[in-house]
Structure 1
Amino acid sequence: MEDYVKQGNLVLRSESEINDRINDYYIYEVDRAIYGCGALYPQDNNQGEIGAIAVNPSYKCKGVGKKIMRYLIGLGQKRGMNRLFLLTTQTSDWFYGFGFYPGTPSSLPPGRKVRYNNERNSRVLLLDLVSRSQDTTPG
C-alpha cells in the first residue's frame, strides 16, 4: 500500500491504526504472495466504508482489484449492511462499474462525516445494498 500512499491515492495509516482494525482488512493471495488488498470498515447506520484498495503494480489489469471489490460488496451484503460508501481522489469511473454513484460528504454516516478531510477533497461514492439484494439480474 506504500506506493499508493506516496501517490496520494491512499491515506497513510500507522501500524497501530491498521492493527486496531486488522479484522477489517482482506488480502488477495496466491501461493503466499500478496497481490492486492482492501478493507471493509463497519460504520454507523448499518453502513460500511470500503477503503485501502491496492493492487500490486505487476498485477494491475488482471482482475485482482475487481475480485477484491466484488468480495467486499458481497461481504457487506452478507453482513446485512444497507449501504457502502468510499472516498476517492482518483478513480471514480472505475467504481461506477460496480454500481457506485456520486454522493456528498453530507451523505456519510455521522461518525464518518466528522472525520471527512476537506483538504483532501475526496469524492464520496455510494452503493445502496438493499436494492442490490433484490436485484435478480445476473452478475
Structure 2
Amino acid sequence: MVDKAQLEIFTTHLQKVNRYLRCKTFDNKERIVTRVQWLLLRYLYRKPDRTIGQLAAHLDVRQSTMSQMLDRLEKVDLIMRRTDSQDARIKLVELTAAGILFIRQTEEAWMEALAEPFAHFTPDERQALVDLMEKLSQHLPKEYN
C-alpha cells in the first residue's frame, strides 16, 4: 500500500521544481509561447509529424482549439503544416528549424537552472535520483512516455 502522505510530499516537491523551471523559462516578458504551447512543441519534438487530431487528443482539447494554437505557433515560425505525401487530405504538423532550436535552448536553460541545486547532491545521490525518476517514469501509462 502506498503512503498517501509520502505522495503528497513528493507531489509538493515535484511541483516546486516544475514551478522553478517554468518561471525561469516562461514567466519573462519576452516569452513567445504559453506553457500549453510548450507542451505541444515538446511533444512534436519527441513525436514529429502528428496530425491536428493527434495533437488535440494528446492535449485533450478540441481540434478547433488546436488549430488556433497552431496558427499562433506558425505565425512565430515554430511549427509548419504540410500535406501528407500519402494522403493529400491529411495535414501533418512539424517543428521548423526555429522550433527545434527553441526546444534545445529552453532545455539548455533548464539544465543551467538545475545545475546549482543538483550540485548539492553527492554523485551517488544524483545517480540514485536519476534512477528513481526513470523507474517512476517507466511505470506511467504508455502515452506519457
Q: TM-score range by the shorter chain?
A: under 0.3
Whose strand fraction is larger, Structure 1's or Structure 2's?
1
Larger radius of gyration: 2
- TM normalised by structure 2 equals 0.25
TM-score by structure 1 length?
A: 0.26
